[in-house]
Structure 1
């Protein structure tokens, strides 16, 4: 049986003053995507902005498997934490919506 593709979905509230920088950091060509791309199994990131609430964003990070994501988190935890700290001031809130498999 094949391992199902794995996604992490995050929701962010972003003030107008930081939306441009936020989009650069969290978008498909942003700092997060560049960090994820160091790991095997990373398939890409989507950044979505709510059509009726411009302060609300979602990111969807695509991985070939949960094992690939877990290996990334283990190997790059220091870099992940440093980037998370750097980007903290760009958002009012962040919430992990969940971790999903494509069925």
Structure 2
């Protein structure tokens, strides 16, 4: 079985520390997804320019991710709205399968 990964790109011009806190491994997004056994964690990376971030969410499968999203849509939307002021741009880079 391969791992399903979603890759996001963020541009953050103001409070990078707050963004890193919320989107890092102990932040609100991790806490939201973490109870799901099919969630395999995420990696947050900061670019050399100091304002570009890449976030990789890791799941057992695309179906597992979609099922979790479907079951928790209202809470997901609320958390997304709460954190939307922490970045200037959010872009979905793509969906990937990890090759083993």
Per the normalisation by structure 1, the TM-score is 0.91
RMSD value, Cα: 0.9
Pairing 1:54–2:53 present: no
Question: Which residue matches 1:93?
Answer: 89
**Pairs aligned (count):** 99
Structure 2 residue corresponding to 1:75, chosen from 71, 76, 80: 71
Could you tell me whether the CA contact under 8 Å between 1:39 and 1:68 is conserved in 2?
no
Task: Name the structure 1 match of 2:8.
Answer: 10
Aligned-partner Cα distance in 1 for 2:4–2:52: 23
Partner of residue 26 from structure 2, selected from 1, 25, 29:
29
Provide runs of 4+ in structure 1 moved above 2 Å.
Answer: none
Shift of 1:40: 2.7
Q: Within 2, Cα distance between the matches of 1:75 and 1:18? A: 31
Unaligned runs of 5+ in 1: none
For 1:39, what is the secondary structure of its paired residue? coil
User: Cα distance, 1:18 vs. partner?
Assistant: 1.3
1:2-35: per-residue Cα shift (whole Å, max 9, x none)? 3x210000000001x3111100110111110111
Q: Give, in whole Å, the separation in 1 of the partners of 2:22 and 2:98.
A: 25
Note the residue ranges of structure 2 that are not aligned, 5 or more in a row.
Answer: none
